[in-house]
Amino acid sequence: MSEPLRVGIAGLGTVGVGVVKILTQNADIITARAGRPIEIVAVSARSKGTDRGVDLSSYDWVDNTADLAAHENVDVVVELIGGSEGVAADLVNAAINNSRHVVTANKALVAHHGYDLALQAESKGVSLAYEAAVAGGIPIIKAMREGFAANNIHSVYGILNGTCNYILTMMRETGRDFDDVLQEAQDLGYAESDPTFDIEGIDAAHKLCILTSIAFGVKPDFDAMKIQGISHVNATDIAYATEFGYRIKLLGIARRVNGKIMQILEPCLVPINSPMGIIDDVYNAVYAEGDFVETPLLTGKGAGEGPTASSVVSDIIDIARGFKVPTFGIPAMELSDASWIDLGETRARYYLRLSVIDQPGVVADISAILKEQKISIEGMVQRARAPGQAVPIVLTLHDSRHENVVNAVEAIEKLSVCNEKPCLMRIEEI
């Protein structure tokens, strides 16, 4: 029997406790697969006294989490605290500097500091592993860095936040509006009491940022991303999308366009029966297009104790097996600064919902603005008749230049009949 791999866990919330459960309950099969035992030797969390439903008495309790980084018996530091700065960042930095492998589920940390950490880890010859940071139990980091390693990746599409997908699904199924469904999701524990990171798209954007880096061999650059959440999507949009044959999904898109990279995270319309259109509830999915592999799709639960902890442990097993792969698929020092595309220059079909006062000449005014911006209308629905009152007008636009569409929407918003901020979304045939 080979030497055990010794693990120290920082953070004993849901995922941390899940990792303890897996490593104890499945110790036999994990030892067989890893070729050596994986032993928890130390743990650290804010409060020692909390009953977490697992027996921690045989592990060394480390009061000061930072001390885990240099714990003499720890080969792998598992960071499950979260946050791009503070305790988590300090711990990971120090652990790598002390030549400890690091396994983390911390998407914010990897998105914001992944490049520097990768440089450091690779110079120290240790792994910085983060399968659990993206799409929970779905082995998408492994698929992208290893499974599709033969390919030039053209594009990656992801539904990367289970809370948002759940809210959008519920809105569709019940016809209720955003705030109402969010409240329910919070009551059920599917959304945090402060849901900002989820509903404003930050969480999903962290994940997309990581996928972009692996797909295109570029430094992760969170600040370069256009991010829009789902709080402006209303029940009317969901209903019209269905009528036009689409679902609304908070979609991460990273793709090559004219030699540059486009990276956006925003609600988009996708066809109802497309690979992304069928992903509902708390499920996540990632779809990649390579020059040879064509159209693989991976889906599954994107969060939760079991799936996320399963991914954390799979990283630990890789380390136990002696597998080392560059943090972002190629050596960190070879990662390039991405050349981001000017979004204004990109083209797409669009969904546009307006709320306007129902009076003569409105459609003529709108049409004139669109024509001026060289945008042609593909479909239009104005169903309600309420002279003098606000009614929705919904349009789909033929493939158009983004900047022209934005200009048109700004001009329409300035019309006196327009009584609400227009809702504009890309239509993606994915």
Binding string, residues 200-229; x marks residues near its own copies by CB under 8 A: -----------------x------------
Examine the residue annotation and report whether 207 is marked as an active-site residue of this protein.
Answer: yes
Smallest distance from the beta carbon of 150 to its own copies, in angstroms?
3
∠38-124-66 over CA atoms, to 5°? 65
Binding string, residues 145-174; x marks residues near its own copies by CB under 8 A: xxxxxxxx----------------------
Taking the CB of residue 13, how many other CB atoms lie within 10 A of it?
15
| 222, 290, 354, 405: residue in contact with its own copies (rule CB under 8 A) | 290
| 14, 26, 97, 98: residue in contact with its own copies (rule CB under 8 A) | 26
Q: Which stretch binds its own copies (CB under 8 A): 112-120, 165-173, 292-300, 397-405?
A: 292-300
Question: How far, CA to CA in Å, does 395 sit from each of 243, 277, 382?
Answer: 12, 20, 9
Contact 199, 129 (CB under 8 A): no
| 295, 376, 389, 419: residue in contact with its own copies (rule CB under 8 A) | 295
Give the C-alpha separation, 349 to 156, whole Å: 19
- 29 Cβ contact partners less than 8 Å away, ≥ 6 residues apart: none
Binding string, residues 31-50; x marks residues near its own copies by CB under 8 A: -xxxx---------------
**Closer to its own copies by Cβ: residue 212 or 373:** 212
Q: Two tokens at 152?
A: 């030039």
Give the C-alpha separation, 360 to 144, whole Å: 54
**Closer to its own copies by Cβ: residue 304 or 422:** 304
Site for its own copies in 367-426 (CB under 8 A): none
Instruction: Tell me the residue length of the chain.
Output: 430
Smallest distance from the beta carbon of 128 to its own copies, in angstroms?
16
Contact 387, 359 (CB under 8 A): yes
Q: Which stretch binds its own copies (CB under 8 A): 88-96, 304-312, 364-372, 401-409?
A: 304-312
Size of the residue set binding its own copies (CB under 8 A): 62
Site for its own copies in 255-274 (CB under 8 A): 273
| 330, 377, 380, 415: residue in contact with its own copies (rule CB under 8 A) | 330
Give the C-alpha separation, 96 to 101, whole Å: 6
Of the listed 107, 142, 207, 249, which one is catalytic?
Answer: 207
Cross-strand pairs, 252: 158, 265
| Residue 327 found at the interface with its own copies (CB under 8 A) | no
Smallest distance from the beta carbon of 213 to its own copies, in angstroms?
13
HEC per residue, 95-159: HHHCCCEEEECCHHHHHHHHHHHHHHHHHHCCCEECHHHCCCCCCHHHHHHHHCCCCCEEEEEEE
H or E stretch including 237? helix 235-244
**What are the catalytic residues?**
207
Residues that bind its own copies (CB under 8 A): 18, 21-22, 25-26, 29-30, 32-35, 131, 137-139, 142-143, 145-152, 217, 273, 275, 278, 290-301, 304, 306-307, 309-314, 317-318, 321-326, 329-331, 334
